[in-house]
């Protein structure tokens, strides 16, 4: 038969394929509990302004409460013929409470309803994600404190550059995540605005009070413009942009974990529970979790591009195109939550192999800059110092010796200025300890930075 929600105008039923093609209930049923939350607030507001009686309001709220129970228990019979989550729930309400159920949609459209549902849903998800972000950041800070004195090579171009502390490296990750966290909070502000009351596009003739609805739902304020409120999905795009940047950061961390667990680096150990083996090569222990996080970054970038393209060139106000906002958003949320959870579980369990890290730092002439700085302090111009140290490194490569392993006379071949005190700056410990300013890699600075990061988290 013709759809009961709009059958009056139609002379033939919807084509069976078109019915399936246009239906969204298979995926938007995920919004069900937030749809009910929004409807309860709407009915409460309608009674407040005397569009509904208190008796009608109570019947609606009770009916919706029962429906919530049916959905939570998995008993609700979703129907494709009813197209989407909104009409499924409304039809069930009318089944249950009769004509009063048909009054719920007074002064409302699915256009402002769905925009409200997504915002309510996304706000809850954002709050869950923020909790996981805090857990990951805390884990990294704790690990950084433990590894404040651990020395490893720092890299540029993936070539050994200068020694750094592992704690300093971990706090670099933490800083990336702190900015992602700020982006998430900032996005939440723009999610937290109420579309309801915009109705289909122009507002409604009923004497609604949007401030009441906004307050009941915990929104900061009603959206300013009805046309804008029902049409834009920039908040979802913004969330997906946050997610893309976060995943970009997690993919960089993943890449480093994958490199560091390889036999060639051998800097860290990941506990077996985060790895898998090979069905053919008995010796293998593969870092699947970071690899998968690295890989999942791609789908989130794809969702960002989907949503941007979905919104592009849409004329005001609502267009059915926007039904396509949900799957990319939902998958982005699942992916972000999974990756964050994996990282928050895994990060505190990273074990450094300190001897291997120090050995790698020594092998790569990582204190060459320290030797140049030493010469500069003794009056040599930096460019000349650079040349002297370059010759010393070339000698070391021929003799297979690090700078700190050379005898004083060997070093003095290249500059008379070098004295016995040079060995204090050529050690790895001396090198990192000397970078003792805010933002530097010295162990004391790492401990201070970790404390500041902790305080920042505590004051969120
Ligand atoms: N399922 C629709 C969506 O996701 C709900 C709004 C539909 N509105 C309309 N006028 N067809 O966007």
pLDDT tens-digit series, residues 46-81: 999 999 999 999 999 999 999 999 999 999 999 999
Q: Is 379 found in the same domain as 244?
A: no
Is the C-beta atom of 37 inside 6 A of ligand 1? no
Quote ipTM for the complex.
0.96
Find the CATH number of the domain harbouring 91: 1.10.275.10
Give the model's pLDDT for residue 241.
Answer: 98
> For residue 366, what is the domain's CATH number?
1.10.40.30
DSSP SS3 for 216 = helix
* Catalytic annotation present for 157: yes
Domain around 85 = 13-106
Q: Is residue 298 part of a domain?
A: yes
Same domain as 127, residue 25: no
**How many angstroms is it from 309 CA to the middle of ligand 1?**
18
Same domain, 259 and 330: yes
Q: What total number of domains does the chain contain?
A: 3
Out of 79, 105, 157, 211, the active site residue is 157
Answer whether 111 contacts ligand 1 (Cβ < 6 A): yes
In Å, what is the CA distance from 424 to each residue of 408, 420, 429?
12, 9, 9
Within a domain: 382:
yes
Judgement on whether residues 255 and 183 belong to the same structural domain of the protein: yes
Known catalytic residue: 392? no
Atom of ligand 1 nearest to the CA of 24: 1
pLDDT at 283: 85
Q: How confident is the model at residue 14 (pLDDT cuts 50, 70, 90)?
A: confident
Rounded CA separation 330/306 (Å): 13
pLDDT surpasses 60 at 1: no
Look at ligand 1, atom 11, and give the residue with the nearest C-alpha: 320
Q: Please give the backbone phi and psi of residue 89, each rounded to the nearest 5 degrees, phi first.
A: -70, -40
pLDDT above 90 covers what percent of the chain?
A: 92
277 and 370 part of one domain: no
Task: Verify that 180 and 55 share a domain, yes or no.
Answer: no
Q: Is residue 428 assigned to a domain?
A: yes
Strand pairing class (159-165; 151-156): antiparallel
Closest C-alpha residue for ligand 1 atom 12 = 323
- Residue 158: inside a domain: no
pLDDT of residue 279: 84
Same-domain status, 293 and 381: no
Write down the pLDDT at residue 2: 60
Closest CA to 393 of 159, 166, 157: 159
Kindly report, residue by residue over 340-349, the tens digit of the pLDDT: 999 999 999 9
User: Which of 298, 327, 353 lies at the terminal end of a domain, its last residue?
Assistant: 353
Q: Is residue 332 part of a domain?
A: yes
Interval between CA 128 and ligand 1 midpoint (Å): 27
Q: Is residue 141 domain-shared with residue 94, that is, in the same domain?
A: no
List 53, 79, 278, 366, catalytic entry:
278
Q: How far apart are the C-alpha atoms of 251 and 295, rounded to whole Å?
A: 8
In a domain, 454, yes or no: yes
Q: Is the minimum distance from the CB of 84 to ligand 1 under 6 angstroms?
A: yes
pLDDT, residue 128, reads 98
**Quick check: 122 and 235 in contact, CB under 8 A?**
yes
pLDDT above 70 (res 419): yes
Residue 386 lies in a domain: yes
In a domain, 273, yes or no: yes
- Poorest-confidence range of 85-89, 105-109, 284-288, 447-451? 284-288
- 265: CATH: 1.20.200.10
Distance 180 CA to ligand 1 centre (A): 32
pTM of the model: 0.95
Ligand 1, atom 2, residue with closest C-alpha: 323
Please tell me if the CB atom of residue 310 comes closer than 6 angstroms to any atom of ligand 1: no
Does ligand 1 lie within 6 Å of residue 323's CB atom? yes
| CB of 174 closer than 6 angstroms to any ligand 1 atom | no
Confidence of residue 7 (pLDDT cuts 50, 70, 90): confident
Instruction: For residue 284, name the pLDDT band (cuts at 50, 70, 90).
Output: confident
Report the range of poorest mean pLDDT among 42-46, 167-171, 224-228, 365-369: 365-369
pLDDT at 9 over 90: no
């Amino acid at each position: 038969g013709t759809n009961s929600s709009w059958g009056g105008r139609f002379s033939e039923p919807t084509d069976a394929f078109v019915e399936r093609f246009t239906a969204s209930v298979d995926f938007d049923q995920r919004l069900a509990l937030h749809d009910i939350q929004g409807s309860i607030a709407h009915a409460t507001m309608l009674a407040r302004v005397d569009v509904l009686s208190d008796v009608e309001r109570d019947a609606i709220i009770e009916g919706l409460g029962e429906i919530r129970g049916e959905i939570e228990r998995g008993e609700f019979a979703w129907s494709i013929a009813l197209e989407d989550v909104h009409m499924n729930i409304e039809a069930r309400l009318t089944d249950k409470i009769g004509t009063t159920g048909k009054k719920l949609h007074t002064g409302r459209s699915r256009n402002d309803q769905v925009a409200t549902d997504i915002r309510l849903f996304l706000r809850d998800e954002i709050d869950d994600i923020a909790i996981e972000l805090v857990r990951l950041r805390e884990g990294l800070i704790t690990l950084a404190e433990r590894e404040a004195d651990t020395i490893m090579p720092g890299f540029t171009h993936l070539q050994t550059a200068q020694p750094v502390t592992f704690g300093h490296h971990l706090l670099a990750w933490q800083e990336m995540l702190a900015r992602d966290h700020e982006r998430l909070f900032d996005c939440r502000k723009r999610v937290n605005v109420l579309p309801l009351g915009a109705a289909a596009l122009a507002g409604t003739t009923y004497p609604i009070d949007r401030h009441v609805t906004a307050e009941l739902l915990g929104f900061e304020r009603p959206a300013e413009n009805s046309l804008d409120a029902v049409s834009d999905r920039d908040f979802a795009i913004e969330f997906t942009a946050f997610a893309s940047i976060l995943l970009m950061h997690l993919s960089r961390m993943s890449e480093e974990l994958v490199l560091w667990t390889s036999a060639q680096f051998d800097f860290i150990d990941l506990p077996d529970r985060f790895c898998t083996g090979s069905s053919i090569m008995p010796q293998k222990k593969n870092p699947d979790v970071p690899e998968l996080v690295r890989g999942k970054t791609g789908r989130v970038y794809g969702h960002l591009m989907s949503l941007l393209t979905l919104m592009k060139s849409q004329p005001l106000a609502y267009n059915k195109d926007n039904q396509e906002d949900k799957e990319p958003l939902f998958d982005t949320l699942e992916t972000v939550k999974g990756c964050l959870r994996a990282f928050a579980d895994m990060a505190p369990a990273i074990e450094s192999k300190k001897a291997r890290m120090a050995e790698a730092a020594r092998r790569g002439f990582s204190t060459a800059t320290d030797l140049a700085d030493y010469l500069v302090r003794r009056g040599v111009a930096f460019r000349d110092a650079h040349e002297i140290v370059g010759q010393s490194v070339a000698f070391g490569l021929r003799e297979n010796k690090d700078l700190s392993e050379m005898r004083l006379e060997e070093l003095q071949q290249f500059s008379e200025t070098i004295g016995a005190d040079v060995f204090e700056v050529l050690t790895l410990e001396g090198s990192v300890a000397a970078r003792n300013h805010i933002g530097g890699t010295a162990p004391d600075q790492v401990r201070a930075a970790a404390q500041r990061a902790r305080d920042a988290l505590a004051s969120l």
